[in-house]
Amino acid sequence: MLRNPGEIYRLLSRRDLAVLRIIERFMKQYEYVPLDIIVSKSKIPDKEVSLSLSKLNRLKLVKRLRGDYIGYLLTYLGYDCLALDDLVRRNVIYALGPKLGVGKEADLFRAISPTNEKIVVKFHRIGRISFRHTRKYRPYVEDRPHISWLLQSTISAEREFKALLECEKAEVNVPKVLGRSRHVVVMRQIDGVLLYKYRNPVNPEAILIGILDSVRKAFLKVGIVHGDLSEFNAIVEFDSEKPIIIDWPQ
């Protein structure tokens, strides 16, 4: 079964993507967007809409409701494809490669840019941890009880994107951010390894000082506290041993 969002994205037509965008647009008003709304707003013939919806449901990009009415909502995979389409059309991503890693609240994939640069694509996945934990530790959703996981993930990605831009301006050692769409953040790939895997450093004291200096600059110049700093959130560059702090903010 295809699970790589890039593989699934390549199977979609412009019509399929147009239907996904209509569902996305009206999910702000409906838990499941009614079929008649999808048909009327898409301005696509009924039969063609039905063909796309069957295909999208089969690929698990949407979830179908059969009850008092027929309706559809986006899954994370459907949201992934919309974000990828936007990033491809904006020339941020050329091709999505294999999975690089899986975290509590994100999936990371290797990718290449249109200029053949190695990049990393981060899909935020809020909701893997418990519902209560998410609201307890993310104050931007605690007073919005009906906020969806997709919107929470978009807010999380937006916060990370802005934090990386601000930290870069303040000369904090962070990944170079290249773009964002919805819940997806694109960054330049770091030629290094996570700190906990780094063995036999040439200058361990310099690595520690680099980490502490980045944390200090982020707080004093940007007003950001990482909140979850550990050996799992720092990458050491192979050539320079410069530590790069990832996963901002928590």
Q: Which residues of 129-167 are buried (b: 16+ CB within 10 A; e: fewer)?
A: eeeeebbeebeebeeeeebbbbbbbbbbbbbbbbbbebb
The verdict on whether 247 is a catalytic residue reads no
How far apart are alpha carbons 64 and 70 in whole angstroms? 7
Task: Give the three-state DSSP class for 171.
Answer: coil
**DSSP class of residue 206?**
H
How far apart are alpha carbons 53 and 14 in whole angstroms? 13
Element (H, E) at 53: helix 46-58
Residue among 23, 87, 97, 32 nearest 56 (CA):
23
**From 191, 228, 239, 247, the catalytic residue:** 228
Cα radius of gyration rounded to whole Å, the chain = 20
How far apart are alpha carbons 123 and 149 in whole angstroms? 13
Q: Which residues are catalytic?
A: 228
